[in-house]
Amino acid sequence: MNHPAPDCATPVAPIGIFDSGLGGLSVLRAVRAHLPEQRIVYVADSRYAPYGQRDDDFIADRTLAIGEWLVAQGAKALVVACNTATAQSIEFVRARLPIPLVGVEPGVKPAAQQSKSRVAGVLATQVTLRSARFQALVERHADDLRVLCQPGHGLVEAVERCDIDSPALVALLRGYVQPMLDAGADTLVLGCTHYPFLDAAIRSIVGERMTLIDTSVAIARQLERVLDQHGLRPATTGRAAAADVRLCSTSDGTHLRALAAALLDIDAPVERVQIPSRRTRELESDAA
């Protein structure tokens, strides 16, 4: 259940957007396009990415700690711009934060609506694909659609190092996507927010044979509905200046800055932030 927005949450407060790393920038891009008046604080937990190889408790622990940190920064709503974190922890975190949350999930529903061949591929992290939330999503929406699930091992790591088009990356992607084409898939669900940045690389393999499903625009619309429900939209409209996006990273932020500049045209410095949590304190004390 969602708590009501706290008294301090005002329409001019920023929206918090969080991902394990750089992938949530694809959601930030859609939010900026759809809600240009909104201020944004973005957190990339790049120090601990990828989450797709972490255990469930680690992911819930990080998602809650970063959500609490964003609340302390004055965020009025939180977008968990990570399919993996949403799949594992959104209910747990929603029950503990005093602001409304919006999560993301692979676009199985639009795939079922659009596929003509009735075969669709879903590329997502292993954690997302094995989650009960994803299984329920497929059961709810797939109907007669054959869903081919493929873990995208190595893809998050590639985007995190700003590799979106190297020959090695294209070869890795081909290994994931070609079997889907061979099985007759005409639709590919990008079930991880890092993957829209691989759009051109995927297109170079599949050409026009597949429709790529990216849910970031739908997420921005859902955020708009949630803000309206809670009376959290500013009365004025107009594009926010680039200064109204605050970029934060738990790592050194070089790649976050580079990707935000290259793909979103946001030239903002990246703040390195410390967001300790139970599990990272354990990791650090083990390493000491």
- The residue among 46 and 187 lying less far from ligand DGL, judged by its C-beta, is 46
CA distance 58 to 111: 30
CB of 188 to ligand DGL, least distance (A): 15
Cα–Cα nearest to 212, from 227, 222, 197: 197
Q: Is 49 in the site for ligand DGL (CB under 6 A)?
A: yes
Q: Is 192 in the site for ligand DGL (CB under 6 A)?
A: yes
Torsion of CA 201, 205, 210, 215, to 10 degrees: -20
Q: Which of 14, 52, 67, 103: binder of ligand DGL (CB under 6 A)?
A: 52
CB of 194 to ligand DGL, least distance (A): 5
Piece of the chain touching ligand DGL by CB under 6 A; list 7-15, 32-40, 191-199, 238-246 = 191-199
Q: Is 122 in the site for ligand DGL (CB under 6 A)?
A: no
Residues that bind ligand DGL (rule: CB under 6 A) add up to a total of 17
Q: Is position 192 annotated as part of the catalytic site?
A: yes
CA distance 147 to 130: 14
CA distance 30 to 159: 18
CA distance 270 to 262: 14
- The residue among 125 and 249 lying less far from ligand DGL, judged by its C-beta, is 125
Q: Is position 82 annotated as part of the catalytic site?
A: yes
- Helix, strand, coil % in the chain, rounded to nearest 5: 50, 15, 35
**Which residues are annotated as catalytic?**
82, 192
Residues that bind ligand DGL (CB under 6 A): 19-21, 23, 49-52, 82-84, 125, 128, 156, 192-194
